Chain A
Amino acid sequence: MIEAVGLRKVYGKKVAVQDLSFTVRPGIVTGFLGPNGSGKSTTMRMIVGLDRPSAGQALVDGKPFAQHRAPLSTVGALLDAKAVHTGRSAHKHLLAMAATAGIPRSRVDEVIDLVGLGEVARKRAGGFSLGMGQRLGIASALLGDPSTVMFDEPVNGLDPDGILWIRNLMKELAGQGRAVFVSSHLMSEMALTAEHLVVIGRGRLIADESVKAFVDRVQPRGVTVRSPQAEQLRDLVAAEGGRLAAMDDGSFDVRGLSAERIGDAAARRGLPLHELTTVKASLEEAFMELTANAVEYQAHGPAGGGPLTVPGAPAPAREEVAR
């Protein structure tokens, strides 16, 4: 279990993280989401004491990580695949880690097997591919059988098999009652693994809620309607007070009306409908919308620059800027 309380980190003049508070609970996978450079890694580094917070504190199972007597059993962290001496073999690397806490040699072989590094374990880690480095980092993280697991961008460099493997691994670890905290800048990845999300942008907390609540925050995009009688549909939407736009694929995007209202009205008029779908924002879109707002808010600083348009930012965000 991780509790961040008012975390803040300043590097020189740059504020990397500010007023960040959240909780990572045991038994579920908590996704840590944010664009590159939003402060995810800095936050994780503060949790395991690599960086000292400028203010606030990070607690693991109730106390700062450095105060734990058995750190390897408290948090298993994969922070980057390069926390390894390039001249040392994976096997010796893990043996040296295990020796600090009297973890038996058999556990080293066990985690090597678990991550599938058996064939290269005795080769120099400097020659490892990114994917092999990630696997070694995961082996290091699991070595002490920790109650909290923290992975920073674990799917980086993994092949599709490896990605599937790590998704299942995270769910399995959470199922055993461990707190699993995993960062990513890929929403789709989080949608598949996480139950809960901590979202940050520019070092600030944007959301700390379930994946479902996060997606629900964003207004439905509209309703996709298909009908062979386009003219009648146009009349219907106008009569009910909605707006309609023709899409490239022959369907219509209706705004301002719920699917129920369109369906009921069509039934009354005897208008055939071939499709009636409420379009919900994907996790990706929800994320883009919320973080794009954060970015634009920041861009209106005293420097006096014009409104910043973010490529791919959804329309509502741009409208807000225009107003």
Chain B
Amino acid sequence: MSATTAQPAQYRPAEHRVTFAGLVRSEWIKFWSVRSIVVTMVVSFVAVVGIGVLTSFATRALFADVAGAQAMAAQGFDGVGASLTGAQMGTLIVAAVGVIVIAGEFSTGMIRTSVVTAPRRLGVIAAKAVVLAVNVAVVTGVAVLLAFLLGQAVLDTRGLGASLGDEGVGRALLGNVAMLVGVALAGLGVGALLRNAAGGICTVVAAIFVVPLLLLPIPQSWGGDHVRELWFSNTYLNATTVSQSESYLSAGLGFGVFLVWVAVLLGLGALALRSRDV
């Protein structure tokens, strides 16, 4: 045997272990340190409040006086829905945030740093989901409440305003915030699957606004009603409104199906992140 050559002892560093709390802190820093995400979050807030208030003004303009408005109200007019129109539009914006949070890392190369830092990878997307959900819940939660209060104040000048204590109002407000959080998480899942911001955003916009229109002509004999009521963006509709529509699943059941959609999209995204080379 040849003589072994002397070598310096191997360096023993202090161990800095990755923890889930650490990953969440890291994703929090990442979330608020990229201008595009900050801007998009601000836009989502402005859109939810602004569109809600504008729609409330537009609705008020339909009624010349209090008497006419009362007549409409007797027929089941939903003034709460008018003030929350912005939240429906807001789904687009928060879905884009969800997509950008991960697709932006793929387009810039940051994802390589992220998965080398946490090589099991699932922690990365889980931490992203937590941070995204909390931020969207807080920002749009305040926005939805503000849109409701301002919108109802506008409608109240015609005697149509609802108050927080009215039946179904609390559920509708919570439903809107939960919808926004869920759609953002679905965006995260799609972003992880497609790895491309433009493609991901187009996909989510199509899923929310285009596909429901394409589903309309499906005849009943093909199970049209079931297809329509089970489609992603139709599932949460009754959970977000005070008045309930027969065309969609009930609030509770519908929201349950929506959660399944979100879980499946996030799960597929997580699976793709874990198994594909980056």
Q: Which A residues have a C-beta under 8 Å from some C-beta of B?
A: 1, 25-28, 45, 48-52, 65-66, 68-73, 75, 77, 79-80, 82-89, 92-93, 95-97, 99-103, 140, 144-147, 175-179
Contact = CB atoms under 8 A, between A and B. Distances in A.
Contacts of A48: 116, 119
Given A82-B108, A83-B109, A70 B10 contact: no
Contacts of A99: 22, 25-26, 28-29
A222 B228 CA distance: 84
B19 A85 contact: no
B264 to A, nearest CB: 24
Interface stretch (B31-39, B41-49, B59-67, B159-167): B31-39
B15 A70 contact: yes
Consensus secondary structure, chain A interface: loop
Contacts of A51: 277
B15 A73 contact: yes
Given A48-B116, A83-B110, A92 B29 contact: yes
Contacts of B108: 82, 84-87
Contacts of A79: 112, 116
Interface string B14-27: 11111100110111
B120 A66 contact: yes
Interface string B98-135: 00000011001110110111111000000000000000
A71 B18 contact: yes
B221 interface: no
B2 interface: no
A30 B15 CA distance: 24
Contacts of A101: 16-19, 22, 117
A28 B116 contact: no
Contacts, number: 141
A26 B11 contact: yes
B131 to A, nearest CB: 11
B76 interface: no
11 contacts: A26-B10, A27-B8, A73-B13, A95-B29, A99-B28, A100-B22, A103-B16, A145-B13, A145-B16, A177-B8, A179-B10
B277 A50 contact: yes
Nearest to B22: A100
B226 interface: no
Contacts of B15: 69-70, 73
A146 B116 CA distance: 13
B120 to A, nearest CB: 6
Contacts of B11: 26, 147, 176-178
A85 B16 contact: no
B89 to A, nearest CB: 25
A26 B117 contact: no
Sorted nearest first, the 8 A-B pairs with minimum C-beta distance are: A101-B16, A177-B11, A92-B33, A26-B10, A27-B8, A66-B119, A99-B26, A85-B110
Contact of A72 (B18, B104, B120): B18
Given A70-B15, A73-B15, A79-B112, A85 B30 contact: yes
B15 to A, nearest CB: 4
Given A70-B16, A85-B108, 17 more contacts: A45-B277, A50-B116, A69-B18, A71-B116, A79-B116, A82-B108, A87-B36, A87-B108, A96-B29, A100-B19, A100-B22, A101-B117, A140-B113, A147-B10, A176-B11, A178-B10, A179-B10
Contacts of B220: none
A147 B119 contact: no
B33 A100 contact: no
Nearest to B27: A96
Contacts of B8: 26-27, 175-177
B191 to A, nearest CB: 14
A102 B16 contact: yes
B85 to A, nearest CB: 31
Contacts of A97: 26, 113, 117
A199 to B, nearest CB: 20
A210 to B, nearest CB: 10
Contact of B116 (A77, A85, A92, A179): A77
B74 interface: no
Nearest to A28: B7
A140 B110 CA distance: 12
Contacts of A84: 108-110, 113
A28 to B, nearest CB: 7
Given A69-B17, A80-B109, A100 B10 contact: no
Nearest to A80: B109
Contacts of A71: 18, 116-119
Given A50-B115, A50-B116, A177-B8, A73 B33 contact: no
Contacts of A85: 30, 34, 104-105, 108, 110
B278 interface: yes
Nearest to B7: A27
B16 A177 contact: no
A95 to B, nearest CB: 5
Contact of B14 (A68, A73, A77, A93): A73
Nearest to A79: B112
B9 interface: yes
Contacts of A70: 15-18
